[in-house]
Amino acid sequence: MTNSLVEVRNLQKYFYEQDSLVDRLLRTDPVAVKAVDGLEFEIEQGETLGLVGESGCGKSTTGETVLRLQEATEGEVYFDGSNIYDMNRTELKEFRRRAAIVFQDPFSSLDPRMTIGETVKQPLDVHDWPQDNNHDTSKDEQKTERVKDLLNRVGLSGDQFDRYPHEFSGGQRQRIGIARALALDPDFVVLDEPTSALDVSVQAQILNLLDDLQSEFGLTYLLISHDLSVIRHICDRVAVMYLGEIVEVASSQDIFSDPQHPYTKALLESVPRVTITERERDIKTLSGDVPSPRNPPSGCRFRTRCPSVIPPANSNIEQEAYRELLSIRNRIRSRDIDLSDTQEFLEMDETEDLADRVIETMVTTELTFSEPHRSRVREAIAAALEDDWEEAESLLSEYESICEHVSPALQEGRDHCAACHLVEQPPAVVDAVADSPVSPQDGYE
């Protein structure tokens, strides 16, 4: 029996473009932007789950759909055993009392015309707190007392009740946002990048405060951040997100000591370390941009940037050369080779020599392709130079990767799992690989 407070099942949030009345009259098909695509995770009572990934990967949309601040396209979110998407008005109001959010930007999330006392008191007014008034004092006096108590607990002072947001620093404003989130004594709080707008010196204070409040009130957190050092500070478990999907889940300790997914490894690589050897460290940052969620890559969504993409069986090609070759192949597929720079050579060179020059301009490293790969790339470029793009594509078709044919998945029931063909995969994925026309090179289990 699980002790989960929050369970997320197949959560999807798509935004649709070209979906206006005019588009429908013109019978234009809507285009789905898959911000969140089939997420599954749970958060235990009293636990902090970190959701980490680059900006634009769908983290904040996940937080908002988990709280039903945005409607999900598909899927279920169970809070304390009840699906929030099946709740009636009364149940939803009670859910809103028990689940809160702290926003990223403490400057825009507070109304400048309201005193901080009014801001923190607002949720109490909306929920008509306290429901039962058995005290001698009026409800309003109790609310004011509650707000002052909250301000004290987040490190401010009840005496500041009548002051306005502009009188506070960024860190203090975030403390006000936290006090407001805790006003109704919630069980669950989504922390959406709670420190990213703050100075580094203030970040640790806010994280320590959140940690203390969790112990004091028995809170359960979903902490959304692009910053692994923030995640490391207070999270029990971590889910790594890439382009709308979770690619790795593990305890915080395992994620930092034994990452399995190439994306997690790359994120960790890019975190600066305070060591005397840091200056010598060769930091491998992620190359390229995150692809568009309008048209995510087939198979593994990370394959266009993956430093470990799996070559086909018997290709006998070095990893770095393989990635360069895939990049050239993708540019041939999208007809994205600018031949204008090479026109000046057309008079003086044979097509094949010209192909060599084009390859040099396209390869981003010092790398030289070994044979027979260099000949194959040269032939493909030569075909493109003669405007025979189909022939160019077919000459490189033997370099298909299993990573572009079969989507990897997270293994169910594991404490540490990663959606990558380089780690053990669920039976359905193994079967799909076996049925695929592409066989992976050694290294795939």
Residues that bind ligand SF4 (CB under 6 A): 261-262, 300, 302-303, 306, 308-310, 403, 408, 420-422
Closest CA to 170 of 141, 195, 138: 195
The smaller minimum CB distance to ligand SF4, of residues 34 and 421, is found at 421
Listed residue (200, 322, 239, 207) closest to 53, CA to CA:
239
Give me the least distance between CB of 260 and ligand SF4, in Å please: 9
For 31-50, the DSSP string reads: EEEEEEEEEEEEEETT-EEE
Residue among 177 and 440 whose Cβ is closer to ligand SF4: 440
Amino acid type, 176: I
Query: In angstroms, what CA-CA distances link 80 with 1, 5, 29, 91, 349?
Result: 13, 5, 39, 12, 72
3-state secondary structure of 329: helix
Q: How far is the CB of 321 from ligand SF4 (least distance, A)?
A: 16
Q: How far apart are CA 282 and CA 303, in angstroms?
A: 22
Closer CB to ligand SF4, 75 or 299, in the complex? 299
- Smallest gap from Cβ 284 to ligand SF4, in A, equals 14
Give the distance, in angstroms, between the CA of residue 282 and the centroid of all CA atoms in the same chain. 25
Gap between the Cα atoms of 311 and 326, Å rounded: 10
How many CA atoms, within 13 angstroms, populate the side-chain half-sphere of residue 11?
A: 32
CB of 56 to ligand SF4, least distance (A): 18
Closest CB 283 distance from ligand SF4, rounded Å: 20
Q: Pick the closest to residue 229 from 247, 250, 255 (CA basis).
A: 255
The residue among 148 and 303 lying less far from ligand SF4, judged by its C-beta, is 303
Shortest Å distance, C-beta 420 to ligand SF4:
3
**In sequence order, what DSSP letters do the residues of 107-138 get, joined into one string?**
TTSS-TTS-HHHHHHHHHHHTTS-SS--SSS-
Instruction: State which residue, 373 or 421, has the beta carbon closest to ligand SF4.
Output: 421
Nearer residue to ligand SF4 within complex by CB, 199 or 258: 258
Shorter beta-carbon distance to ligand SF4: residue 110 or 433: 433
With beta carbons less than 8 A apart as the criterion, state whether 121 and 150 touch. Answer: no
Q: Which of these, 326, 195, 240, lies nearest to 57 by C-alpha position?
A: 240
Least Å from the CB of residue 60 to ligand SF4? 24
Number of helices (H), then strands (E), belonging to the chain: the values are 16, 11
Beta carbon nearer to ligand SF4, 97 or 421:
421
C-alpha distances in angstroms, 395 versus 189, 257, 345? 54, 42, 24
**Shortest distance, position 277 Cβ to ligand SF4, whole Å:** 28
Q: Using alpha carbons only, give the angle 185, 66, 303 rounded to the nearest 5 degrees.
A: 140
Task: Tell which residue, 418, 422, 73, 105, has the closest CA to residue 242.
Answer: 418
Judged by beta carbon, residue 49 or residue 309, the one nearer ligand SF4 is 309
Q: How far is the CB of 308 from ligand SF4 (least distance, A)?
A: 4
